[in-house]
């Protein structure tokens, strides 16, 4: 190899790195350092090279702990154009159109700097979408917080929400949905998961690959600064009370620049495709990750980058800092030789900086020049495709081994009071205080805004729409990661189905604890298996996703929380259905059998302060059957409303369905008061215009129970076998609507 | 007739306006980039919402330095209709085409929701399709929508009948519940609510169509097409 220059700064020498084991603090293990030294380079790596490997071999970039698990996902489907592996997955929705979606977590940055952590989460996932050549048409956010107790808790929640609002609103992509839940399991590890959905013409797919010797590597967008240095590696550590100060690892978002970069990149992809070989977002591990992945994917070539050409925000940045910075709003392109000037002009017209910083070379080496000297020289595949993979040990957690198989029995003396108390639980209560700060309508395609089961975004000029949702209940997974994983997918499917859609596929954010601990790895492994089983059942393949591990604090992990983001296709705009009761006289049914679903439920948490016991039963076949009944009923235009029954049970679904149009209900049921709080899966609450009664009952047979009718009197009355619920809708609405906004003031 | 929709770096509602005019109002419409220096051939100019220049410095403060602004000022002076929505309203106050300014909402938060407005002047070239006192529902989506002017200016606005739309439930702290005002001549309207988001029932309301229909009626009744 060529002579590799040592940096002039006070960076450790290769010998010092070896002797002082300073690679440990950069995130590499002894084993990994040994691999680099003995198997990859056959010499001591210098400081910059150790940095490259620490970023690229982090869990965040390499999925080294989760890869063997992710392989278990169901990813097939005749409409899948691109599955996991690229920036985002693509599904064919007909008419030469593809829907592109992916989710990303920004948990660790948001835990230390909530506003910027959240903004850059939104920015990153948007880049993943538009780098595929798709225009982002909607975002969703899945948030998990501890129940706020102090001003500091409130500050964190408000700043995370403000960050999402600031970025998404500015760039002009509507934030149409998501989900927010509160549980102290997330006290030190709030979850900030962002999903973005894009729309593209299928003949314009772009991939992140750099092929062809002599082709140029073009850097596009914001200048590189010292923000977020080695953030990918940081995100792969756990937090503990001894290490509170990790602020420099958080980046700063600039949505205005991103908007310019997005418009410029879409212009290049749509109108200058002859010049473009590949395009990739500079996300985690910044310049090294984007360039090495692009080089490795192309296969058979090397790459040389001249770091002196990289636009820099600060003077005197080292090669290490330039390569590992996670400054935002940057893209990397591979451009056919001879077309550079054309593309540079396109970017200039959009007011976006773009500069050639290197080119594709013969051979397989990834080489960096800085101040005219070679500062890194490593095989390109060693950084990306050849990162180590670990098969972790799995062992059932203690709390699952001796779980009580009896279902919790709610104590209810005054059903109406329990109902009102439940409506004020933050996980149940209206999230308007959050989504009111998001622009939900820009692009003027939002047919169903936040507040119903799934958001619905129409495809302009076509008689079709997309339903989208994010869901997961970590409490279920805590009690049974496999069944809970199935339930997460099932709930997202119910939401999509209730909106009038057929599931297309899912993306996910796998938020888990430490994979090196067998009981925490067990949760990841089992959850993925359960999710995969459900995906296959609903023919909704996993097309993209993201992994966030090490969500633990002082060795206590969060609940296993694999966020599921599902997109469904609504095949005619007249299928769009919402949860609100529409008019007095419509008949109200519960579809699907109600059992005793209390372990892991909101009422167990509310009445005992904890979650315990064996999770209640769940049957995927029955779930699919009920979903298909609802889909048929919607497509036959028999339903006035449909609402998924989830947290809080049937009585919450009834109350929520009265709120939108301020109607009442007069119902009676064969269920007990307690059963109204059961969270048995595979159920919907629907309302049916009286003229459709016969047809509907014939269709659903014994799977539905007629409860009564919608009334005009703004009063909720529900007779159970051993008591009744009786409350003014106005009063219930105020409790439900005010609970969160009061806390966040 | 032909509408111009201006597009500044960071505008994000220009296509929404474009689509509303083309697909719903069914008139000619063209996007005009901020670098252009001419508005020749247009009968009305629409300035879209969004975050021109990221709202950095102050909403609208940088956009008003764009090359297109002198042409816009001349267009306004000629008496033809100019409508600024949301960020467009902010640009119009910054450019001196409308009095007053837009401050941060009193809640200090961005707010996106439907608001009920009352039509306070159905004589303007932007509101003749409505009835005086009519209640209409339009969405708002802004962080800096709190209209402010001093008492003297407010008196003039009232005296000249320049207040076209008012909120019935003031969402942002605006003086006198102001949602939209014109200049003294009545041919420049700035409003924070988004009429272009309310032109189809499937999106929740089509109450916003009247704003554009009023402009079309004004132009066509004068016969000033492609002058």
ipTM field: 0.95
pLDDT at A232: 61
Q: How far is B141 from chain A (nearest CA, A)?
A: 6
- Integer-rounded Cα Rg, in Å, for chain B is 16
pLDDT at A598: 97
Interface touch A256/B51, C-beta < 8 Å: yes
Residue spans in chain A of domains classed CATH 3.90.650.10: 405-415+577-745
d(CA A363, CA A356): 20
Q: From A574, which residue of chain B is nearest by alpha-carbon distance?
A: B202
Task: Report the topology of domain A76-205+430-574.
Answer: 60s Ribosomal Protein L30; Chain: A; (3.30.1330)
Contact residues on chain A for B10, CB-CB shorter than 8 A = 170, 256, 259-260
pLDDT at A363: 87
Would you call B86 a catalytic residue per the annotation? Answer: yes
Can you say which residues of A are annotated as belonging to the binding site for substrate? 105-108, 127, 251, 326-328, 548
Mutate to test the interface with B, among A119, A348, A444, A452 (most CBs of B within 10 A): A444
d(CA A191, CA A510): 11
- pLDDT single digits (tens) A228-246: 776 666 555 555 555 444 4
Positions of chain A with pLDDT lower than 50, given as ranges: 1, 6-8, 243-247
Contact (CB, 8 A) for A114 and A163: yes
Contact residues on chain B for A328, CB-CB shorter than 8 A = none
Contact (CB, 8 A) for A120 and A227: no
Greatest CA separation found in chain A? Answer: 84
pLDDT at A231: 66
Contact (CB, 8 A) for A435 and A175: yes
Domains of chain B, with CATH numbers? 2-222 (3.40.50.880)
Contact (CB, 8 A) for A90 and A99: yes
pLDDT at A240: 56
Contact (CB, 8 A) for A338 and A330: no
pLDDT at A247: 43
Mutate to test the interface with A, among B7, B8, B49, B54 (most CBs of A within 10 A): B54
d(CA A578, CA A573): 12
Task: List the structure tokens of A121.
Answer: 């989460």
Please, is A151 exposed, middle or buried when counting C-beta atoms within 10 Å of its C-beta (0-12, 13-18, 19+)?
exposed
Q: What is the mean pLDDT of each run of 10 residues along chain B (227 residues)?
A: 97 97 97 96 97 93 96 97 98 97 96 97 97 98 97 97 98 98 97 98 96 96 58
pLDDT at A86: 65
Domain at A405-415+577-745, CATH from 3.30.70.270, 3.90.650.10, 3.40.50.300, 3.90.420.10: 3.90.650.10
Contact (CB, 8 A) for A632 and A696: no
d(CA A383, CA A255): 30
Interface touch B16/A260, C-beta < 8 Å: no
Q: Which helix (H) or strand (E) holds A301?
A: none
- Integer-rounded Cα Rg, in Å, for chain A is 26
Residue spans in chain A of domains classed CATH 3.30.1330.10: 76-205+430-574
Query: What is the pTM for the complete model shown?
Result: 0.94
Phi and psi at A280, nearest 5°, equal: -150, 145
- Residue A386: CB atoms within 10 A of its CB come to 17
Q: How many helices (H) and strands (E) does chain B have?
A: 5, 11
Contact residues on chain B for A441, CB-CB shorter than 8 A = 112, 139, 141, 194, 197, 203
3-state percent helix, strand, coil for chain A, nearest multiple of 5: 40, 25, 40
DSSP-derived secondary structure for A215-239: PEEEEEESPB-STTTTHHHHHTSPB
Measuring CA to CA, how many Å separate A12 from each of A46, A49, A304, A307, A612?
A: 8, 12, 24, 20, 51
Would you call A60 a catalytic residue per the annotation? Answer: yes
Contact (CB, 8 A) for A634 and A700: no
Contacts of A336 (CB under 8 A, 6+ apart): A212, A215, A274, A275, A276, A277
pLDDT at A626: 98
Of B51, B113, B203, which is closest to A446 when you measure between CB atoms? B203
- pLDDT single digits (tens) A279-320: 998 888 889 988 888 887 777 788 999 999 999 988 889 999
Per the residue annotation, which of B27, B115, B149, B194 is the catalytic one?
B194
Per the residue annotation, which of A42, A60, A364, A370 is the catalytic one?
A60
């Amino acid at each position: 190899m060529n002579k590799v220059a040592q940096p002039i700064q006070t960076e450790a020498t290769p010998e010092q790195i070896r002797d002082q084991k300073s690679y440990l603090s950069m995130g590499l293990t002894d084993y990994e350092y040994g691999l680099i030294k003995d198997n990859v380079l056959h010499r001591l790596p210098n400081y910059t090279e150790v940095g490259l490997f620490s970023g690229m071999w982090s869990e965040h970039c390499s999925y080294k702990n989760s890869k063997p698990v992710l392989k278990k996902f169901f990813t097939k489907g005749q409409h899948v154009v691109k599955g996991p592996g690229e920036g985002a997955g693509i599904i064919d929705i007909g008419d030469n159109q593809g829907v592109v979606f992916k989710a990303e977590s920004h948990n660790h940055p948001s835990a230390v700097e909530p506003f910027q952590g959240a903004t850059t989460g939104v920015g990153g996932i948007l880049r993943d979408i538009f780098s595929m050549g798709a225009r982002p048409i909607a975002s969703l956010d899945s948030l998990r917080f501890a129940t706020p107790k102090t001003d500091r808790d409130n500050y964190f929640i408000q700043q995370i929400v403000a960050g999402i609002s600031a970025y998404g609103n500015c760039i002009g992509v509507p934030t149409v949905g998501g989900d927010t839940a509160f549980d102290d399991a997330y006290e030190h590890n709030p979850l900030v998961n962002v999903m973005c959905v894009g729309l593209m013409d299928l003949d314009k797919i772009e991939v992140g690959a750099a092929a062809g010797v002599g082709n140029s590597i073009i850097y596009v967008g914001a200048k590189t600064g010292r923000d977020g240095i080695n953030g990918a590696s940081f995100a792969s550590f756990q937090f503990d009370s001894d290490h509170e100060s990790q602020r420099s690892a958080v980046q700063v978002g600039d949505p205005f620049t991103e908007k310019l970069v997005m418009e410029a990149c879409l212009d290049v992809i749509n109108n200058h495709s002859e010049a473009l070989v590949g395009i990739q977002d500079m996300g985690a591990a910044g310049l090294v990750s984007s360039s090495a992945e692009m080089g490795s994917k192309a296969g058979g070539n090397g790459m040389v980058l001249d770091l002196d050409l990289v636009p820099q925000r600060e003077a005197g940045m080292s090669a290490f800092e330039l390569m590992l910075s996670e400054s935002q709003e940057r893209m990397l392109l591979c451009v056919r030789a001879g077309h550079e000037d054309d593309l540079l002009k396109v970017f200039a017209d959009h007011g976006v900086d773009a500069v050639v910083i290197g080119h594709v070379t013969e051979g397989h080496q990834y080489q960096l020049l800085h101040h005219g000297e070679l500062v890194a020289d490593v095989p390109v595949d060693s950084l990306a495709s050849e990162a180590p993979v670990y098969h972790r040990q799995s062992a059932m957690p203690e709390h699952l081994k001796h779980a009580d198989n009896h279902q919790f029995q709610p104590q209810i003396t005054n059903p109406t009071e329990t109902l009102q108390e439940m409506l004020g639980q933050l996980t149940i209560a209206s999230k308007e205080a959050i989504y009111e700060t998001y622009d939900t309508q820009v692009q003027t395609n939002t047919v169903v805004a936040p507040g119903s089961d799934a958001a619905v975004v129409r495809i302009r000029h076509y008689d079709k729409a997309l339903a989208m949702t994010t869901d997961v209940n970590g409490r279920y997974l805590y009690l049974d990661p496999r069944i809970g994983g199935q339930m997460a997918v099932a709930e997202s499917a119910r939401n999509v189905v209730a909106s009038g859609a057929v599931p297309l596929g899912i993306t996910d954010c796998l938020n888990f604890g430490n994979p090196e601990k067998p009981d925490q790895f067990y949760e990841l492994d089992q959850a993925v298996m359960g999710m995969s089983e459900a995906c296959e059942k609903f023919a909704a393949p996993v097309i993209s996703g993201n992994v966030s591990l090490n969500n633990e604090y002082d060795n206590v992990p969060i609940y296993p929380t694999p966020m599921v983001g599902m997109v469904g296709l609504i095949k005619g705009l007249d299928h769009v259905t919402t949860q609100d009761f529409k008019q007095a006289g419509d008949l109200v049914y519960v579809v699907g059998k109600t059992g005793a679903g209390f372990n892991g439920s909101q009422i167990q948490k509310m009445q005992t302060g904890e979650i315990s016991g064996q999770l209640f039963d769940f049957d995927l076949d029955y779930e699919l059957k009920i979903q298909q009944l609802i889909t048929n009923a919607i497509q036959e235009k028999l339903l006035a409303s449909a609402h998924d029954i989830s947290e809080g049970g049937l009585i919450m679904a009834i109350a929520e369905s009265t709120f939108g149009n301020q109607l009442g209900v007069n119902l009676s049921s064969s269920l007990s008061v307690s059963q109204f709080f059961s969270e048995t899966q595979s159920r919907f609450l629907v309302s049916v215009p009286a003229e459709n009664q016969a047809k509907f009952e014939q269709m659903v047979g014994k799977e539905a129970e007629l409860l009564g009718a919608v009334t005009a009197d703004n009063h909720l009355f529900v007779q159970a076998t051993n008591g009744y619920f009786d409350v003014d809708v106005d009063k219930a609405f105020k409790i439900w609507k005010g609970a969160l906004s009061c806390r966040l003031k | 007739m032909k509408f111009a929709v201006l597009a500044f770096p960071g505008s994000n509602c220009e296509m929404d306006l474009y689509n509303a005019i083309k697909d719903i109002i069914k008139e000619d419409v063209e996007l005009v980039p901020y670098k252009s220096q001419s508005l020749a051939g247009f009968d009305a100019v629409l300035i879209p919402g969004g975050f021109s220049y990221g709202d950095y410095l102050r909403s609208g403060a940088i956009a008003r330095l764009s090359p297109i602004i002198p042409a816009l000022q001349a267009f306004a002076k000629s008496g033809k209709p100019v409508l600024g929505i949301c960020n467009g309203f902010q640009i119009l106050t910054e450019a001196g085409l409308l009095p007053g300014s837009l401050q941060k909402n009193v809640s200090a938060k961005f707010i996106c929701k439907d608001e009920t407005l009352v039509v306070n002047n159905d004589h303007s070239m932007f509101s003749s399709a409505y009835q005086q006192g009519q209640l209409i529902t339009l969405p708002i989506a802004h962080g800096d929508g709190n209209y402010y002017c001093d008492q003297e200016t407010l008196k003039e606005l009232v005296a000249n009948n320049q207040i076209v739309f008012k909120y019935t439930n003031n969402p942002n702290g605006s003086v006198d519940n102001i949602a939209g005002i014109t200049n003294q001549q009545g041919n420049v309207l700035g409003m924070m609510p988004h009429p272009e988001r309310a032109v189809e029932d499937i999106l929740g309301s089509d109450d916003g169509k009247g704003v554009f229909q009023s402009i079309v009626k004004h132009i066509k009744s004068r016969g000033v097409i492609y002058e």
